[in-house]
Amino acid sequence: MKNTKLVGELLREKREEKGLLLRHVSAELDIDTAILSKIERSERKATKEQMLKLAEVLDLNKEDLLVQYLSEKILYEIKDEELGEKALKVAEQQIKYINKKNKGIEGV
């Protein structure tokens, strides 16, 4: 899923596409309708568990939705930083390094 839309926009589009009302989806998540509305407007962040449930209710690919969710968490952490893009590239290299290192430990 390569998407530049915010998670909330994706959720709202899919909910409306399926003809579901906020109150029906919020009932499935056991949250207040106002909270789901804020999540859709990107005024509030959903939890990982809520995202997984939303994927089920809206028939979205869980992995794709979690990737969008995580990328948005990173976005909000570094979006106002002057060196944000450089830091993101370094972080990507560090993730690769750690994963490679961990694979080496597992093979021992």
47: CATH: 1.10.260.40
The two structure tokens encoding residue 31: 């949250």
Q: For residue range 1-42, what is the model confidence (pLDDT) as tens digits?
A: 456 789 999 999 999 999 999 999 999 999 999 999 999 999
108 has a pLDDT exceeding 70 = no
Domain assignment present for residue 107? The answer is: no
Residue at 90 is within a domain: no
Count of domains forming the chain: 1
Provide the pLDDT confidence category of residue 76 given band limits of 50, 70 and 90. confident
Do residues 34 and 20 touch, judged by C-beta distance below 8 A?
A: no
What is the phi-psi region of residue 19: left when phi exceeds 0, alpha when psi lies from -120 to 50, beta otherwise? left
**Any domain includes 42:** yes
Domain range holding 59?
Answer: 7-80
pLDDT value of position 2: 58
d(CA 51, CA 66): 7
Percent of the chain with pLDDT over 70: 94
Amino acid letter, 22: L
The answer to whether residue 97 sits within a structural domain is no
Q: What is the pTM of this model?
A: 0.77
